[in-house]
Amino acid sequence: MRGAARRRVETVVESLPGLGVALRLDDLIHSLHQGVQTVRHQQPELVDYHLYDLQFSFESTGMRLQIEFRK
């Protein structure tokens, strides 16, 4: 049996409200959602893929997202 088709994408969300002071959970979730939506908009071929995994880390330039999509 063949494995599921995978696509991994890495992006940086540059503006994250409250970063460095206090981060509200709803702001974090909104930023994660917006990052995924931006990638889907930039790469329309992902329409047949679903979000499988999402990793994030905070950097001085913003929040780095590593997103995995699978069919």
Q: d(Cα 30, Cα 24) in Å, to the nearest integer?
A: 10
Q: What is the pLDDT along the chain (71 residues), one digit of tens a residue?
A: 466 799 899 888 776 555 556 678 888 888 889 889 999 999 999 989 999 999 988 887 778 899 999 99
Residue 33 CB partners (closer than 8 Å, separation 6+): none
The predicted pLDDT at position 19 comes to 57
Q: Tell me the sheet residues that pair with 65.
A: 11, 56
